[in-house]
């Protein structure tokens, strides 16, 4: 299982999964399938942003400056996460058209209606940032930044960005950049 998905599924003793399922009228298995189907697009968005000049610094600033971890620590806050999630989606996916495509693709994978998945996408984006923030906190991100240990920060993000699990995120980030340059999305 993807470390980001593991963090989300285990948050609040499974309470996050229960909250998402209840909020969207799904059972827990459907909610987990939906989250699993939506996360890769968000991961791809993070990869593209990190590969741009200043992208890593921007992500780290959002992780340390935002209160994203609240969504994992207190699942009841998810009912108000849509606005935050839409802002995250704007940065990661760029347009509502891309968000609609992501929801449609996830609907094909899960059998859950694309209308439900479109509503769910901002919540999952908030959860993804919360999981990244939680992982960065557990890895003492602030201390690494102050100490100038950017390789430690990259190591923390490496497993998240290494989509094909070959031990290197470089090929995955470059593939994202090439896809963006050549219209692969």
Q: What whole-number distance in Å separates Cα of residue 39 and Cα of residue 4?
A: 8
The alpha-helical segments, DSSP class H, found in the chain are 3-10, 15-23, 28-51, 55-65, 70-73, 82-92, 96-110, 114-138, 141-146, 150-161, 170-181
The domain ranges of the chain are: 3-181
Measured distance CA(173)–CA(177) in Å, rounded: 6
Q: What pTM value is reported for the model?
A: 0.77
pLDDT of residue 3: 83
Closest CA to 44 of 175, 145, 183: 175
Structure tokens at 134: 């939680």
**Confidence tier at 164 by pLDDT (50, 70, 90):** low
Give the mean model confidence (pLDDT) for residues 21-38.
Answer: 97
pLDDT tens, position by position, 124-135: 999 999 998 887
What's the burial of 63, exposed, middle or buried (CB within 10 Å: 0-12/13-18/19+)?
buried
Q: What would the mean pLDDT of 106-112 be, rounded to a whole number?
A: 97
Average pLDDT, the chain: 80
Question: How far apart are alpha carbons 181 and 22 in whole angstroms?
Answer: 40
pLDDT winner (highest mean) among 40-44, 100-104, 153-157: 100-104
């Amino acid at each position: 299982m993807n470390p980001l998905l593991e963090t989300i599924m285990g948050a609040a003793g499974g309470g996050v999964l229960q909250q998402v399922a209840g909020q969207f009228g799904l059972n827990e298995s459907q909610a987990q399938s939906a989250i699993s189907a939506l996360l890769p697009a968000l991961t791809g968005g993070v990869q593209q942003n990190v590969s741009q000049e200043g992208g890593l610094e921007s992500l780290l600033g959002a992780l340390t400056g935002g209160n994203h971890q609240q969504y994992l620590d207190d699942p009841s806050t998810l009912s108000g996460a849509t606005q935050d999630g839409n802002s995250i989606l704007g940065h990661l996916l760029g347009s509502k058209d891309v968000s609609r495509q992501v929801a449609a693709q996830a609907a094909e994978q899960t059998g859950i209606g694309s209308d439900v998945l479109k509503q769910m996408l901002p919540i999952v984006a908030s959860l993804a940032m919360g999981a990244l923030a939680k992982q960065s906190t557990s890895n003492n991100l602030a201390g690494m930044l102050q100490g100038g240990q950017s390789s430690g920060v990259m190591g923390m993000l490496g497993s998240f960005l290494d989509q094909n699990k070959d031990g290197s995120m470089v090929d995955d980030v470059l593939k994202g950049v090439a896809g963006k340059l050549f219209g692969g999305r």
